[in-house]
Amino acid sequence: MQAMWPLDIRESWITDARGRKIIMQGLNLAGTSKLPYRPDGSSYRPESLADPPGVSFVGRPFPLSEADDHYARIAEWGFKFLRFLISWEAIEHRGPGIYDREYLDYLEAVVARAADHGLGIWIDPHQDAWSRWTGGDGAPAWTLEIAGMQLEKIALTGSAVVHSLFESEGLLRDQIHRLARAREKSISLKASFERSGPEEAPSPPKTYPSMIWPTNYTRYACTTMFTLFFGGLVYAPSFRVEGGNIQNFLQSRYLEMLRTVAARLAPLPNVIGFGSMNEPHRGYIGWEDLDKPSTWPMKNGPTPTGLQGMAAASGSKQTVRNYRFTPFGPLATGYVQINESEQTLWKEGYGCPWRREGVWEFKGGKPVLLKPHYFSGFGHRDSREHPGAGVSFSRDFLKPFLKRCHGTLADTDRRILVFIEGIPTEPHPPWDPEADGERAVNGSHWYDAFTLITKRFAPRIAYDSVNRRPVFGKRRVQRSFERQIGHEIASAADRMGGIPSVIGEFGVPFDLKGNDAFESGDYSDHERALDSYYRAMDANLLGSFLWNYSPDNTFALGDRWNDEDLSVFCLEAGGGRAVEGFLRPYTLATLGTPLRMHFDRKARVFEFQAWLDGARLNGEKSTAEADTLVFIPRALYPKGFSVELQGGQGWSYDEDAQILSISVAGSSAGKLELRVEPKSG
């Protein structure tokens, strides 16, 4: 089958070079690409935090020698596109403007190899909660140090929840002191563990709460960095770096990193596009009252108010509310103390930028808010010190950044698509394709919140992320999934000028019900969950990218990042997991306009309808390279399948490629109807 790239945009559809409408069936590669390859960057191990310039991401997602095996497996499953994760840290970990050329060489080689397997690549500059030092991944350590933070004190002051340092404070303090000594001596903490013997090597904290890492978006370090990155000019005008505001410095470095990667990868024929930033966040921008916790719904564990987080970072012990996250919202469970040892986050000569801007101060040894609503307006430019001053993060701060990203990437290669994202479950950034940039695609994310948080799949219970309320009943749950995704796409179309949409992430945890499937090998719950999600995508005729494929996933360590385990590949499972949940027929390239797509997993019946408008492709007769293409996996039809076709000239099946080609006369008009079902007997 001839490759479909490069891709184009016509109205609200992504199309291939022959004008066919594309429904992108994709996979995220890889969850472990958030982490260094050397030393082992698994988030439960602290050694790669000790020497930030000395890490290497060469080998993420896998060594080049293993690429063909993994790509062949992914292509066999019917995926035609990959959302390929990289990180700012992977490229610029040695310091501002110092790029890891070895990693860039590796990246170019491993992305190019995917073309041999017919895989189109969307490069995703990934981040979660800013960086690995703030409990996530993405930005290099020097971004925090430029802001004046001591890396060793971030977790100790309660400014972040860090997986490898999540234990009792006594052990936490000991771990951090070891981290500090390693940095002072310019040695790798990995070496100290190796010298101590394997029995002293760290193991995953048993007390690390599930899905606590998103709370870092309301913890001081991550929140401050996002505010400086997106809103430093407005909220921290006195914070200067190299003669300019810290916002300009950080964004310029980020955009230059993007430009450097795009210059290497955009010329590759299978690179279809670049993302701007995975799940950007507002930081403090829009936080209405700093005397209260954030309205961010993912409250889990100790949750300081805005002022408490600022005070703790400046050395003040704070008693804060503790929460337990439930599928139906956060539940307050009492109070705990943070920064009990009264450490300060700041390097000598630095301090809290918000204290410097007059937002708060110590009076009589106690923190006092002076401007509780500072971030609900436009900082010093806003004289109205009250909530609701009208600031919009997506409109006033995110959109200008996205325009800069789009311009940077378009200047590198105008052939590529630019995938843009907002904050999940929140309003999309406004976009006008003519004024703000063409060839833009909305790359929103969607997850089944109930299953993700509880690690239980209950087909009769769900949480509606649009209406923020529970849903009960199997049919109601399925319709809710369809409506949630449909609302996401309709909202994006309305606010973003009708640009195409894909779901950039969705998936299911594999450690459901206390890891039951690891011993039994029974992944039926996972298969039912994935089938339900894919049916919701199909009902909206929407392309989607499954999260994720991690080549070194194991039962014990999962995706090796913050106790997550969503990889469809597992070493100990011998390959794919819950394959029947995502191995399914779908129409990937359509002459005309898709109208309906549905797959009944139990009966193995696939149905597809499209409207033929009679237009010929480039004025030519339909050929094998310009037919409607449907992926029909061999494994689902071991005894073959029968085809009912109306409105087409005929069909053929390439068993090696697993592609059903439907030819259509150039002058045809009307409805095309396809039904595929197993042969009896």
Concatenating the DSSP letter of every residue in 185-249 gives TT--HHHHHHHH-GGGS----TTPPTT-GGGGGGSHHHHHHHHHHHHHHHH-TT-EETTEEHHHH
Q: What is the pLDDT of residues 190-232, one digit of tens each?
A: 343 333 333 344 566 667 888 899 999 999 999 999 999 999 9
Write out 617-634 in H/E/C secondary structure: ECCECCCHHHCEEEECCH
pLDDT at residue 203 in the model: 65
Q: What is the pLDDT of residues 580-620, one digit of tens each?
A: 999 999 999 999 999 999 999 999 999 999 999 765 444 44
Q: Is the pLDDT of residue 475 over 50?
A: yes
603 contacts 677 by C-beta, under 8 angstroms: yes
Q: Which range has the worst mean pLDDT, 274-278, 281-285, 422-426, 547-551?
A: 422-426
591 contacts 618 by C-beta, under 8 angstroms: no
Q: Which amino acid is at 103?
A: Y
Q: What is the pLDDT of residues 152-167, one digit of tens each?
A: 999 999 999 999 988 6
Identify the residue with better confidence: 247 or 449: 247
Percent of the chain with pLDDT over 70: 90
Strands, sheet with 650-654, edge to edge from the N-terminal-most edge strand:
8-10, 13-15, 21-22, 586-590, 628-631, 659-663, 650-654
DSSP 8-state secondary structure symbol assigned to residue 489 = H
Distance between CA atoms of 322 and 132, rounded to whole angstroms?
Answer: 23
Q: What is the pLDDT of residues 279-316, one digit of tens each?
A: 999 999 999 999 998 888 888 889 999 999 999 999 99
Please provide the DSSP assignment of 80-103 as one string.
-EEEEEE-HHHHHTTSTT---HHH
Flag whether the pTM goes above 0.75.
Answer: yes
Q: How many CA atoms are closer than 13 Å to the CA of 344, on its beta-carbon side?
A: 9
Q: Which range has the worst mean pLDDT, 103-107, 382-386, 497-501?
A: 382-386
Nearest Cα neighbor of 112 from 273, 268, 274, 275 is 268
Map out the domains of the chain with their CATH numbers. 22-132+244-277+393-582 (3.20.20.80), 586-678 (2.60.40.1180)
φ, ψ of residue 327 to 5 degrees: the values are -60, -20
Burial of 209 (0-12, 13-18, 19+ CB in 10 A): middle
pLDDT at residue 176 in the model: 53
Q: What is the pLDDT of residues 634-672, one digit of tens each?
A: 999 999 999 999 988 899 999 999 999 999 866 567 899
Find tokens 């564990």 and name the residue. Answer: 301
